[in-house]
Structure 1
Amino acid sequence: MTDATRRIDKALDKAEQALERLDAIHGADSAASADERLGQAAESSELLSSVWATPPSERLKFGDGWRLADAIGGATPGFHGDKADGERFIRISADQIARYQRLLYANGLKGARNRVLIILQGMDASGKGSLVKHVFRQGNPMGIHYHGFGAPSEEERAHDFLWRVERELPRPGWIAVFDRSHYEDVVMPHVWGTLPEEEWRPRYGRIVDFERDLAQDGCAIIKIFLAVSPEEQLRHFLGRLDDPTKHWKFAMSDLDARDRWDDYMAAWQEVFECTSTDFAPWHVVPADNRWYSRAVVSELLRDAIVGMNLAWPGFDADVDLGEVRRRLEA
């Protein structure tokens, strides 16, 4: 066992112990206040985050000098443990996300505007769909909205390109996950020439304005590009051909996109340069090791909700606690 693995195991042990204390103060007989419970939850989350040598929000954020072509699909930047450590991290983080999701949802019901939008992009077989299943393994379906965007329908093409996206945005208190998104409406015409450049290029500015308005209205935006290598994609494609239960996942268009790999990378590089902002930055996540990409997204999501500094809503103004107890005990 390496020193890095020992450090990570120790941090994960402490995070689990903190969760056990949190379970104790959430018991029916507990006299812990709402603030004390939030403090214990924050302690556990902070201990869990300490496994990262550098937080993904910093290490993987697109910035000046970032070149998508230099992304190494099999790397695990900022996380020095192995697959077992990563999967243990995901399990603990999923528990914490479920707790913070309830807090977010409760605030949304009481009028707060806080919500989360996760945008997942990547080449075919980069792991977008399975990532959602693992990150939200303990989440409550009430409060999570998942939507996959394919080629626009005839009805959608008759509207502005953001029309179909606006219909799927998270309600207050909810988490929405987009498997592909409005960015397809820039990348696809860029690569394939399906629209004149003077039509698709101004969409960069439209997207930045759209996301700025969302962020100012209380929506945390987490944008992820899963950077899978061509070699790893090939492995998954061949696996789909050999497994009859996965034949439905394969389409000839997957090969067309693979043939244009460099064109796609150039188009996405321009997307990042034009739309990665302080209020909605892009994170380029190596995705050959799926346990790593899942751990990264789990960390980014949990960190985003913790950063909202939410409190548990109290009783409505018309609730008379004394009267409630008398009526319940009558």
Structure 2
Amino acid sequence: MSYVSLKGLRKSYGSLEILKGLDLEIPHHQFTVLLGPSGCGKSTTLRLLAGLEPVSGGKICIDGRDVTRFEPRERDISMVFQNYALYPSMTVEQNMGFGLKARKLPPAEIRQRVHAAADLLGITPLLARRPRELSGGQQQRVAIGRAIVREPKVFLFDEPLSNLDAKLRVEMRAEILQLHRRLKATTIYVTHDQEEAMTMADRIVIMNAGEIEQEGTPEDIFFRPQTRMVAGFIGSPGMNFLPARIEAAGRVSTPVGFFGFVGGGAPGQKVEVGIRPDDLLLARDPATAPDGDTFRGEISLIELLGPRAILHLHVNDTRLLAVVAHDELSGLSVGKSAAFYARPGALHVFERDTGIRL
């Protein structure tokens, strides 16, 4: 039995339907990330799980128990919010113990739990301070500590790192992941940051317009996107897309030339192909490319990113991005052309009308 189960979950505000019958099963101890563009329904899903808003339809089960109509305090869930939601007039210790005090636990037990969580998070020296005296990262640790002391069945994180600077986000990402592994908690984490999702998740659930587009491991999502939406959403820089036509089994024609691919489809079928910029390789010697399938592109811009660079290419009226290692830049410059080919087996082919992978 799944530890968290959503069955036909719906949420509407009047005639506006936010969630359209979500079905999702999350096993015990798993770190699941809900990922998708703004407005796709991921934060709404979390709020329904927490009991902060009533559902419009469907069922929520936790550990085999139907909690759909339960109050938030009855669900045994802790939630960490984007804005920390700390009480400004309370000390760190009081903030972390507030929920336990509301449950009328003995003061000695509250103190023991708070100090144990503070020690785990490295914030014991901050217990006497108030939120205004803390940095953003310290406030986030306090918010996480407040969730830990409740010892819940499920942890919910709603974009908890979006207010932090880039360096601190990376540090906190590692801390949250280590904490999850130490506590062996069932965790559901909402983000719009695909890098967070790819590095933290056991499983990623891609949401789009109130529905699940695809779910799977980070490797599944990245290397075998099942729809054009997922392919275009995951990856930085984004995937190149080209209109194409299947010429023969495993071979398509595009505006920049012919490519081989692995998949189905019928000769003559109109499709759309996607190829990641990292999978467009420089052909220093075009004769070495598979089947001789190379094309030349004029370089219009070079973006240097330390150990690699993004090349902006013009191939007739088509624009493409390619990524090369820094040591491959020799001889390349804006205004010059270079030959490229697609990494064998790296082409993604989608039905043009439905956007579904072939």
Give the TM-score of the pair, scaled to structure 1: 0.28
Higher gyration radius (CA): 2
Greater helix proportion: 1
Higher strand fraction (1 or 2) = 2
Which is bigger in relative contact order (C-alpha 8 A, separation at least 6)? 1
TM-score, normalisation: structure 2: 0.26
